[in-house]
């Protein structure tokens, strides 16, 4: 970079080309108005530079009362007191910084470009997350800005041990991706593996953390997610305290937690804010909901088509009477209703606000009632399908629930073909698949397998959540030397 403003400006403009949203201003400052300056910023990201509350405006006002030498010396030594001011040696670096939402300043006689923070890009403010409702706990959720999201985690973990490592992804988008972890808890090998996977592909642009997730998954063919998503900073902070890593992507309100396992998807944030009896009962309900969300339609077909002898005679006669006049086989009946409910679920998501909730509830009632009255389906099928949908809604993580919704159709076809044997074959397939899954080296069925690796301590927070004072050790994710997380202050020697 040269000291002449004209040369730097022309090189910078040639690099940017013509673009209507990039604003460029040339002005003359100094006591004698003989110091040429050039400003560049993306429209909207720069404030009104005449206002006193604008950082750039204050700098320009100061430059009006300084000589050329004083201006260059102030910039070199950062005598203006701007905490986030950065100097760039090359025009290319200055162009990259322009697109982060900052203002770039060139001054005649100064051989560096100056990055000055101002308004930045518009972003969504902190709101309550929609997908992870809790009864008790924080109402703050992640925003679209990665800086806001890291600050929300830092707000909860106020320790210098919390580290944030930034990487760039996307050859054209240059998206910031932050790796957030606790330095003394995380395994260095895990951190290296995360960085290796993030740098494994070269892609035009990363627009959401979901793209990061898909590019980093090892078993891409599995419907079960190997990353845990969250929109709650308290959930992310809790995971970091367990020795796990949180990956945040700019422009995305969802963070990725890794490694993860089956049990982690069943937990919620308020499990640890409520009493252990309530949390354990709710967790058992979720485990049962996950099971029935996958198997209920298939079990209904297996019992009514192959194993009617296990039903009481009165109930069997009631089922037979309800199916009188229905023209379709039971499997077609169940399949039609399942597809109808999936369509209603998708329509409810796509429609705006209150209209989406209305179409989900009213549409389900109307379609179910009309189908029964038209003798297309029997009432018991509507009950079975509605109960299955209710169970899938009880699973806390939406991506995790989607896996059970997909496997539901596998069980439906297997049970309609082989009866209860099809159910057993389906369960065997799912269990074998889960046993082969790993998330960054951690078995997916932890702590139900490999519990001895942490002296069976992880079982205290699995199907049942023991009282908080009993969970004295961190899960298997943390370094072995840092497993102890709770002890009484009056204990001289920690006793397990």
SS3 for 442? strand
pLDDT above 90 coverage of the chain, percent: 45
Is 481 exposed, middle or buried, given 0-12, 13-18 or 19+ CB atoms closer than 10 A?
A: exposed
SS3 for 88? strand
Yes or no: say if 148 and 38 are a contact pair by the CB < 8 Å rule: no
Question: Is the pLDDT score of 52 beyond 60?
Answer: no
Ordered by start, the domain boundaries in the chain are: 5-116, 146-260, 276-442
Question: Is the pLDDT score of 234 beyond 90?
Answer: yes
Yes or no: say if 233 and 156 are a contact pair by the CB < 8 Å rule: yes
Lowest mean pLDDT among 65-69, 164-168, 187-191, 278-282: 65-69
Question: Is the pLDDT score of 122 beyond 90?
Answer: no
Position 79 scores a pLDDT of: 60
Question: Is the pLDDT score of 65 beyond 90?
Answer: no
- Residue at token pair 């367990």: 242
Confidence class of residue 83 from pLDDT cuts 50, 70 and 90?
low
Q: Rounded mean pLDDT of 51-79?
A: 78
Position 420 scores a pLDDT of: 93
Q: Rounded mean pLDDT of 223-252?
A: 94
Distance CA(387)–CA(354), nearest Å, equals 23
Could you tell me the end-to-end alpha-carbon distance of the chain, in angstroms, rounded to an integer?
Answer: 63
Distance CA(99)–CA(41), nearest Å, equals 8
Question: Is the pLDDT score of 109 beyond 90?
Answer: no
Position 180 scores a pLDDT of: 96
Position 288 scores a pLDDT of: 96
SS3 for 177? strand
Which one-letter DSSP state was computed for residue 83? T
Average pLDDT of every residue of the chain = 87
Between 122 and 37, name the one with better pLDDT. 37
**Comparing C-alpha atoms, which of 317, 385, 315 is closest to residue 345?**
385
Q: Summarize pLDDT for 294-327 with one digit per residue, the tens.
A: 999 999 999 988 988 888 888 888 888 877 878 8
Structure tokens of 44?
Answer: 């909207």
Position 63 scores a pLDDT of: 85
Structure tokens of 84?
Answer: 């986030």
Q: How many residues does the chain have?
A: 496
Lowest mean pLDDT among 38-52, 63-77, 385-399, 444-458: 38-52
Highest mean pLDDT among 31-35, 141-145, 357-361: 141-145
Beta bridge partners of 38: 26, 106
385 preceded by a cis bond (ω within 30 of 0): no
Confidence class of residue 47 from pLDDT cuts 50, 70 and 90?
low
């Amino acid at each position: 970079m040269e000291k002449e403003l004209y040369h730097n400006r022309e090189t910078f403009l040639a690099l940017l080309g013509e673009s209507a949203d990039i604003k460029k201003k040339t002005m003359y400052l100094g006591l004698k108005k003989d110091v040429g300056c050039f400003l560049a910023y993306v429209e909207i990201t720069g404030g009104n530079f005449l206002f006193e509350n604008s950082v750039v405006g204050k700098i320009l006002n100061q430059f009006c009362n300084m000589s050329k030498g004083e201006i260059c010396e102030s910039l070199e030594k950062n005598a203006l007191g701007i905490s986030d001011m950065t100097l760039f040696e090359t025009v290319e670096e200055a162009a990259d910084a322009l697109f982060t939402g900052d203002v770039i300043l060139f001054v005649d006689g100064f051989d560096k470009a100056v990055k000055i923070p101002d308004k930045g890009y518009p972003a969504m403010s902190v709101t309550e997350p929609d997908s992870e409702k809790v009864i008790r706990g924080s109402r703050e959720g992640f925003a679209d800005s990665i800086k806001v999201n890291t600050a929300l985690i830092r707000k909860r973990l106020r320790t210098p041990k919390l580290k944030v490592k930034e990487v760039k992804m996307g050859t054209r988008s240059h998206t910031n991706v932050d790796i957030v972890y606790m330095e003394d808890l995380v395994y260095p090998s895990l951190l290296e593996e995360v960085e290796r996977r993030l740098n494994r592909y070269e892609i035009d642009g990363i627009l959401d953390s979901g793209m990061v997730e898909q590019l980093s998954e090892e078993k891409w063919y599995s419907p079960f997610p190997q990353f845990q998503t969250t929109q709650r900073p308290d959930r992310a902070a809790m995971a970091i305290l367990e020795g796990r890593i949180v990956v945040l992507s700019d422009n995305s309100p969802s963070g990725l937690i890794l490694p993860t396992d089956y049990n982690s998807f069943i937990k919620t944030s308020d499990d640890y804010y409520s009493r252990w009896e309530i949390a354990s009962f709710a967790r058992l309900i979720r485990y049962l909901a996950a099971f029935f969300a996958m198997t209920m339609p298939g079990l209904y077909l297996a019992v009514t088509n192959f194993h009617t002898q296990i039903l009481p005679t009165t109930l069997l006669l009631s089922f037979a009477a309800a199916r009188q006049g229905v023209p379709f086989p039971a499997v077609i009946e169940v399949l039609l209703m399942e597809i109808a409910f999936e369509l209603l679920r998708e329509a409810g998501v796509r429609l705006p606000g209150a209209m989406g909730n209305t179409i989900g509830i009213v549409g389900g009632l109307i379609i179910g009632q009309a189908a029964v009255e038209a003798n297309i389906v029997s009432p018991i099928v509507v009950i079975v399908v509605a109960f299955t949908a209710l169970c899938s809604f009880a699973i806390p993580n939406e991506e995790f629930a989607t896996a059970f919704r997909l496997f539901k159709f596998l069980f439906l076809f297997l049970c309609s073909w082989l009866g209860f044997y099809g159910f057993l074959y389906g369960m065997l397939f799912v269990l074998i698949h889960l046993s082969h899954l790993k998330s960054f080296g951690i078995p997916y069925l932890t702590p139900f397998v490999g519990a001895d690796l942490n002296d069976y301590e992880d079982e205290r927070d699995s199907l049942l959540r023991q009282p908080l004072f009993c969970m004295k050790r961190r899960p298997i994710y943390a370094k072995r030397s840092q497993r102890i997380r709770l002890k009484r202050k009056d204990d001289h020697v920690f006793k397990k």
